[in-house]
Amino acid sequence: MKEKVIIKRLEEVIYKGRLLNIPIKEDHIVKKSIEVFGDDEPCIIHQSFVIKEILTNLLELFKDKDIIKGKDYIEGLSFLNYEEIESISLELVRKK
Amino acid sequence: MKVYLDNASTTNVSKEVFSAMLPYFTDEFGNPSSLHEQGIRNRKIINKSRILVADVLHCKKNEIFFTSCGTESINWAIKGLAYNTSTKGGIITTKIEHHATSETCKFLGDRGYSVSYVNVDKEGFIDLDHLRAIINDNTLLVTVIMANNEIGTIQNIKAISKICYEASTYLHVDAVQAACHTLLDLEELDVDLLSISGHKFHAPKGVGLLYVKEGTKLAPLIHGGQQELKMRAGTENVAFTVGIAKALEIGIANLGKYTKRLNSYSTLFLKRLDEAGVDYILNGPEIGENRLPGNLSLSFKELDGSVISYLLNKRGIYVSTGSACDSESIEPSHVISEIGVPIDYINATIRFSIGNETTLEEINYVIDNLIEIIKLEI
């Protein structure tokens, strides 16, 4: 999970950094925590685990490409803490 | 392949133990306190279990008390002594104890007891000179972990016991990780109290033991009926009593072979990491008589332990990290912090705990995957 991600809205970079640090909606973490642990008040270690689960799913979307467009994955990217997912794109900078 | 390398957290109930316990869930359900055949048979089996435990640990049967877990045993030992003694108010412990001990000491510390900490070195061994220096006439109890659950350090209990004896101080030993994993002879160790948990050696979760040397003044923790010599009230868990006695008997009988096999697996593990050029630190003592067999607490340079354990989990490999849950952040455990693991290694501490049922094929599978993951994550 050393990969880096660049998120753009149109041509403007709105996030550039480690995959592990991308902004995720808090309520999505809770939703995922209920799914994984049956817990709606996850401790920080459980939150950390859940975030990795979310990111593993995200990496699946990049399986055969380096850039994905929000409009193609509105549901799959709904965890991102951004409005108007359809107008953003994500680029995965793979570890060389 | 699924590989369980988290045996220091818990173990499965072995088939032999399960078979021994089974009748007491269904057919033999009588209350051991009842004076009819069903009850009497169960009273007899509890007595037999107690005798078996006493035999394998080398103590008297009236010195063995069945509890619900290691944490209960530890709480009872420490609080039970404190509640029964008004003349001394000092407790000495270490900063590398399991939370069962450290939180119990803190509880008593908040209520006026004086809690002191004996130093440990970078491998986790107690500084015996420091213990001699801080033990005093007010010291009621020294409580230490015999075999550290995180880094596997096995203390010199006989030497600690001698210091406590000379200072007329009680010694409680948390032997939760030690039982069935290292020699545990109560006659030789000469301790006053000793705690054991069944699920660390293939008995079920929910059963433990407390050894209380004859003559030790301990207050009951649970009041009620006559069970456990009126020291621990509540209807006995007959099946689990049978289970822990059976598991202890098997574990102690197999200890020699178990130790040899697990130490050879641990040695292979480190050799292969060295050959692959992995940058790591083995926390705790070197593999051998002063380290729990099968315990490999490893810290990897400039990596994230939560990521490594997550990725291992995705490949069916189950391990623990040396992390603790703070309300705001994930911190290295108190044990890892106390022994001074360097800052560039401390965040990637993983405990691999090999068990009785681990195979060589599984060990090689884990090492192959670990090396691959580390290379991906560097």
Nearest by CB: B323 against A45, A52, A95 = A45
Does the pLDDT at position B323 exceed 80? no
pLDDT digit string (tens) for A5-56?
A: 999 998 899 999 999 999 999 999 999 999 999 999 999 999 999 999 999 9
CATH of the domain at B206: 3.40.640.10
Structurally, chain B folds into a number of domains equal to: 2
Q: Which of B69, B164, B180, B325 is catalytic?
A: B325
CB contact under 8 A, B323 and A52: no
CB contact under 8 A, A48 and B329: no
Nearest by CB: B306 against A2, A43, A48 = A48
Per-residue pLDDT at B207: 98
Residue pair B5/B353 in contact by the 8 Å Cβ criterion:
yes
Residue A50 sits at φ, ψ, to 5 deg, of -60, -40
B226 and B355 fall within a common domain = no
Q: Token pair of B188, please?
A: 């030789």
- Tell me the mean pLDDT in the region B252-265: 98
pLDDT confidence band for B327 (50 / 70 / 90): low
Q: Which residues of A touch B320 (CB under 8 A)?
A: none
Mean predicted lDDT score pLDDT of chain B: 96
Residues B92/B93/B99/B105 CA torsion (nearest 10 deg): 0
B249 and B260 fall within a common domain = no
Q: Which residues of A touch B306 (CB under 8 A)?
A: 45, 48-49, 52
Per-residue pLDDT at A1: 87
B188 and B319 fall within a common domain = no
Q: Which residues of A touch B325 (CB under 8 A)?
A: 43-45
Positive or negative, the CA dihedral B307, B310, B312, B314 is negative
What number of CA atoms fall less than 13 Å from residue B337's CA on the CB side? Answer: 10
Q: Cα separation of B80 and B156, whole Å? A: 25
- Domain end, chosen from B218, B253, B288, is at B253
pLDDT > 70: percent of chain B: 98
B365 and B331 fall within a common domain = yes
- Domain end, chosen from B224, B253, B282, is at B253
Instruction: For residue B332, list its beta bridge partners.
Output: B323
* Any A CB within 8 A of B230 CB: no
Q: Where are the beta strands (DSSP E) in A1-96?
A: 4-9, 12-18, 67-69, 88-93
* Any B CB within 8 A of A52 CB: yes
Q: Which residues of B touch A44 (CB under 8 A)?
A: 325-330
Q: What is the pTM of this model?
A: 0.95
Q: Cα separation of B137 and B89, whole Å? A: 10
Q: Which residue of B has its CA nearest to A50?
A: B310
B219 and B331 fall within a common domain = no
CATH of the domain at B354: 3.90.1150.10
What is the residue whose two structure tokens read 């999505």?
A28
Q: Going by C-beta distance under 8 Å and a sequence separation of 6 or more, which residues neighbour residue B106?
A: B115
Determine the distance in angstroms separating the CA of A10 from the nearest CA of chain B, rounded to an integer. 31
Structure ipTM: 0.91
CB contact under 8 A, A44 and B329: yes
Residue pair B302/B84 in contact by the 8 Å Cβ criterion:
no
> Which H helix or E strand runs over B92?
strand B90-93
B101 and B224 fall within a common domain = yes
- Tell me the mean pLDDT in the region B199-220: 97
- Tell me the mean pLDDT in the region B150-161: 98
Task: Estimate the crossing angle of helix A26-37 against helix A44-61, to 10 degrees.
Answer: 100
Q: Going by C-beta distance under 8 Å and a sequence separation of 6 or more, which residues neighbour residue B132?
A: B163
* Any A CB within 8 A of B306 CB: yes
* Any B CB within 8 A of A95 CB: yes
Q: Cα separation of A3 and A93, whole Å? A: 6
Q: Which residue of B has its CA nearest to A94?
A: B376
What number of CA atoms fall less than 13 Å from residue B153's CA on the CB side? Answer: 24
Interface contacts (A, B; CB < 8 Å): 31
Q: Cα separation of A67 and B337, whole Å? A: 41
pLDDT confidence band for B326 (50 / 70 / 90): low
B26 and B114 fall within a common domain = yes
pLDDT confidence band for A76 (50 / 70 / 90): very high
B102 and B187 fall within a common domain = yes
Who has greater pLDDT, B329 or B244? B244
Domain of residue B290 covers 3-11+255-377
Residue pair B234/B227 in contact by the 8 Å Cβ criterion:
yes
Residue pair B98/B121 in contact by the 8 Å Cβ criterion:
no
| B69 in active site | no
Mean predicted lDDT score pLDDT of chain A: 94
Q: Token pair of B4, please?
A: 């369980």
3-state helix, strand, coil in chain A (%, to 5): 40, 25, 35
B108 and B149 fall within a common domain = yes
Q: Token pair of B155, please?
A: 């203390």
Per-residue pLDDT at B208: 98
Does the pLDDT at position B17 exceed 70? yes
Does the pLDDT at position B325 exceed 80? no
CA-closest candidate to residue A82, choices A23, A10, A4: A23
Count of residues in chain A: 96
* Any A CB within 8 A of B302 CB: no
Q: Token pair of A37, please?
A: 């642990």
B242 and B301 fall within a common domain = no
CB contact under 8 A, A44 and B376: no
DSSP-assigned letter for residue B275:
H
B289 and B336 fall within a common domain = yes
3-class secondary structure, B66: strand
Does the pLDDT at position B75 exceed 90? yes
Q: Going by C-beta distance under 8 Å and a sequence separation of 6 or more, which residues neighbour residue B224?
A: B233, B234
pLDDT > 90: percent of chain B: 96
Does the pLDDT at position A95 exceed 80? no
pLDDT confidence band for B329 (50 / 70 / 90): confident
Q: Cα separation of B161 and B192, whole Å? A: 9
Residue pair B297/B282 in contact by the 8 Å Cβ criterion:
yes
Q: Which residues of A touch B309 (CB under 8 A)?
A: none
All structural domains of chain A with their residue ranges? 4-93
Determine the distance in angstroms separating the CA of B69 from the nearest CA of chain A, rounded to an integer. 24
Q: Which residues of B touch A94 (CB under 8 A)?
A: none
Q: Which residues of A touch B327 (CB under 8 A)?
A: 43-44
Residue pair A49/B310 in contact by the 8 Å Cβ criterion:
yes
CB contact under 8 A, A95 and B376: yes
Does the pLDDT at position B114 exceed 80? yes
- Tell me the mean pLDDT in the region B52-73: 98
Q: Cα separation of A83 and A78, whole Å? A: 9
Q: Which of A19, A45, A51, A94 to mutate to test the interface with B (most CBs of B within 10 A)?
A: A45
Residue pair B291/B154 in contact by the 8 Å Cβ criterion:
yes
B259 and B246 fall within a common domain = no
Residue pair B141/B81 in contact by the 8 Å Cβ criterion:
yes
- Tell me the mean pLDDT in the region B107-128: 98
Determine the distance in angstroms separating the CA of A41 from the nearest CA of chain B, rounded to an integer. 11
CA-closest candidate to residue B209, choices B191, B232, B181: B232
